[in-house]
A and B are shown apart, each in its own frame.
Chain A
Amino acid sequence: EPEVTQTPSHQVTQMGQEVILRCVPISNHLYFYWYRQILGQKVEFLVSFYNNEISEKSEIFDDQFSVERPDGSNFTLKIRSTKLEDSAMYFCASRDGTGGYQPQHFGDGTRLSIL
């Protein structure tokens, strides 16, 4: 069964450094998402991406964050200058978006640790 893959599984970064989290969504899917889960808290929506542009973003997704689909397969989340509070699990998801309602499928996440 096709799946969403995320790399790396764990990223350790010094505060203030830039970090890029990578995702390969399911190949025929049209909608792409990033969520995060801070330890002990809910899974929170960050951003959705459709037709090569951001379609919706949350209040969390400020100017420090950006997303990109640099080619036909990868979908990346960049955090420009990381802060301690960015430490979390980051999940990528994708959704078909055709033929009626389709659920989102999630990757296994990247654990981001900011030191």
Chain B
Amino acid sequence: DQQVKQNSPSLSVQEGRISILNCDYTNSMFDYFLWYKKYPAEGPTFLISISSIKDKNEDGRFTVFLNKSAKHLSLHIVPSQPGDSAVYFCAASPGSSNTGKLIFGQGTTLQVKP
């Protein structure tokens, strides 16, 4: 099941610079997309979401961009901080599901170097 795919297993950036995490999907019926952050030995923590009818959503240092024609979304973190070092999961909610279940990507490990 490759409906949500994060092709980069890892990303390393310098503190203060921009981090861009990418996610591709195949199902055009997804109605919401979410990003979660996960530290070791903790559960995923919700970061930001975007509805399929929007193309951008911003919350502080975090911005998510959605390109429906390309079936691609990205998470921008500006400026990146060492505390942002974690695994980032892209997730999507199928519109056909009335329960809001999530389908996750494989995750990208972000390392922010001081």
Contact = CB atoms under 8 A, between A and B. Distances in A.
A97 B42 CA distance: 24
B71 to A, nearest CB: 18
B77 to A, nearest CB: 18
Contacts of A95: 100
A104 B100 contact: yes
The main secondary structure of chain A at its interface with chain B is strand
A107 B43 contact: yes
A50 B100 CA distance: 11
A48 B106 contact: no
B3 to A, nearest CB: 10
A104 B104 contact: no
Contacts of B36: 106
A101 B91 CA distance: 14
Contact of B49 (A4, A41, A43, A103): A103
A109 interface: yes
A50 B99 contact: yes
Interface residues of B, number: 24
A31 B100 contact: yes
Contact of A56 (B42, B101, B107): B101
A75 interface: no
Contacts of A106: 36, 43-46
Nearest to B105: A42
Interface of B: 32, 34, 36, 41-46, 49, 51, 89, 91, 97-107
Interface of A: 4, 6, 31, 33, 35, 41-45, 48, 50, 55-56, 91, 93, 95, 97, 101, 103-109
Given A31-B100, A104-B46, A105-B46, 16 more contacts: A33-B101, A33-B102, A35-B102, A43-B91, A44-B104, A45-B103, A48-B99, A48-B100, A48-B101, A97-B100, A101-B32, A103-B34, A104-B100, A106-B44, A106-B46, A107-B43
